[in-house]
Amino acid sequence: MELVSDVDVDVQLYDTDDTSTFRGNGQAIVSYCSSNEKADPTKNCGGLGGPKPETFTYGGLPYSYSGYDGDQEGGKGIEYIEIDGVTNRNLMMYFYGYEAGNATVTYSYTQP
């Protein structure tokens, strides 16, 4: 998934198969949380959600996220999420815009 936007848009990714702790959306994989929220077990913070590129293994697969500051080449407003391997969970993506503007989300996959 690639997000290109000229305004502040947050992307979130959830595992909808895992509702054991968080019923609504499921377990967060990519979701921003402040430092205080990360310390709070009642907050649904994902393994990924910081400002810089990072990778997190979830369900045996590596998930990579550009970070909310954007990718290193395009900068803010250009974000990505990549999953290396065959997705083994039902996932849901959410996008939240915080001001008027334009955003384009491109979702792609290849079949092994």
Question: Among 54, 45, 51, which residue's Cα sits nearest to residue 14?
Answer: 45
Q: How many domains does the chain have?
A: 1
Q: For residue 93, what pLDDT band results from cuts at 50, 70 and 90?
A: very high
Q: Flag whether 55 is in a domain.
A: yes
Domain span at 20? 2-106
- Tens digits of residue pLDDT in 31-65: 999 889 988 989 999 999 999 999 999 999 999 99
pLDDT recorded at residue 112: 67
Q: Flag whether 61 is in a domain.
A: yes
The stretch 67-76 carries a mean pLDDT of 77
pTM of the model as a whole: 0.88
Q: Flag whether 112 is in a domain.
A: no
CB count within 10 Å of CB 43 equals 14
Q: Flag whether 100 is in a domain.
A: yes
Report how far Cα 106 is from the mean position of its chain's Cα atoms: 14
Q: Flag whether 46 is in a domain.
A: yes
Q: Flag whether 78 is in a domain.
A: yes
Q: Flag whether 20 is in a domain.
A: yes
Count Cβ atoms within 10 A of the Cβ of residue 9 and give its class: 0-12 exposed, 13-18 middle, 19 or more buried: buried
Q: Flag whether 111 is in a domain.
A: no
